[in-house]
Structure 1
Amino acid sequence: MHPFRKAVEARDEAAIEALLADDVVFTSPVAFKPYPGKAITAAILRGVMRVFEDFRYLKEIGAEGAADHALVFETTVAGKRITGCDFIHLDADGKIDEFMVMVRPLSGAQALSEAMAAQFERIQREAVEQIEREAAGS
């Protein structure tokens, strides 16, 4: 089992964040522009965990030790059933530096977009707070 899948299934936010590279780029299924950086990516993933209901991974695609992996999942958002895939790329240190999510059907993507829009003020606040904590600690 991929360490990211294991962390997500355990709902272990600290472990998820620890797997992200500082320069990770998150590409959302419902936003045009990618989100660069660990703080915003971790905050988005926490937001996703708040809106996904009965989330489960169905399968993993990618050889052990490979840089690229696909994790197929199912979930429900606002009563809409969603099938999706997390595409992750690992850097030389084994950290996730590219994270792209795709979902279907359109009605599920729309429900996800609305649910995440409702979370976005909190997501931005969490990311800014994390950046400020890290700056104060250095």
Structure 2
Amino acid sequence: MTPYADAMIDFRSAVEARDPDAMAATLADDVVFRSPVAFKPYPGKAITAAILRGVLRVFEDFEYVRELTGDDGRDHALVFRARIGDVTVEGCDFLHLDGDGLIDELTVMVRPLSAAQALAAAMADQFERIQREATGG
């Protein structure tokens, strides 16, 4: 087990428990989130935590089905399955940990196209709330 293993266990456990505060605690202040449906990355802990809360509201029956770890323990891929309404989503969270074991990069990929489209529509419905949560408004 690498020195970063506890950080991944914390993130995965927080997601599986649907605990947004515990999820946010695993993020570095300078984390960069890359969405599967938006080209522009979202920098910063506040917006990333707000997006993750939005995802919790959108995904149903979420489960991680596989975890892959890089040799140094700082790179991880968490393969997941979920639903958005009647649409089945398969995806992967790609995470990189900084020297303190906090997530400084989070990239999400989803498939198939129908799932990406459903996610884009569902998150678009959430985005005004996400922006308010990120800015404390």
Counterpart of 2:133?
126
Counterpart of 2:24?
17
Q: Which amino acid aligns with 2:123?
A: M
Answering whether residue 106 of structure 2 is matched by residue 102 of structure 1, we say no
Alpha-carbon deviation of 1:2? 2.4
Report the number of matched residues. 130
Instruction: State which of 49, 57, 75 in structure 1 corresponds to 2:56.
Output: 49
Equivalent positions of 1:1-138 (< 5 A) are 2-62=9-69, 66-129=73-136
User: SS at 1:2's partner residue?
Assistant: helix
In 1, the alpha carbon distance for the partners of 2:88 and 2:19 equals 24
RMSD (CA atoms): 1.4
User: SS at 2:117's partner residue?
Assistant: helix
Alpha-carbon deviation of 1:3? 1.8
User: SS at 1:3's partner residue?
Assistant: helix
In 2, the alpha carbon distance for the partners of 1:121 and 1:52 equals 18
Alpha-carbon deviation of 1:21? 0.2
In 1, the alpha carbon distance for the partners of 2:70 and 2:43 equals 26
Alpha-carbon deviation of 1:64? 8.2
List structure 1 runs of 4+ shifted beyond 2 angstroms. none
Unaligned runs of 5+ in 1: 131-138
Unaligned runs of 5+ in 2: 1-7
Counterpart of 1:136?
none
Q: Which amino acid aligns with 2:81?
A: E
TM score, norm. by length of structure 1:
0.90
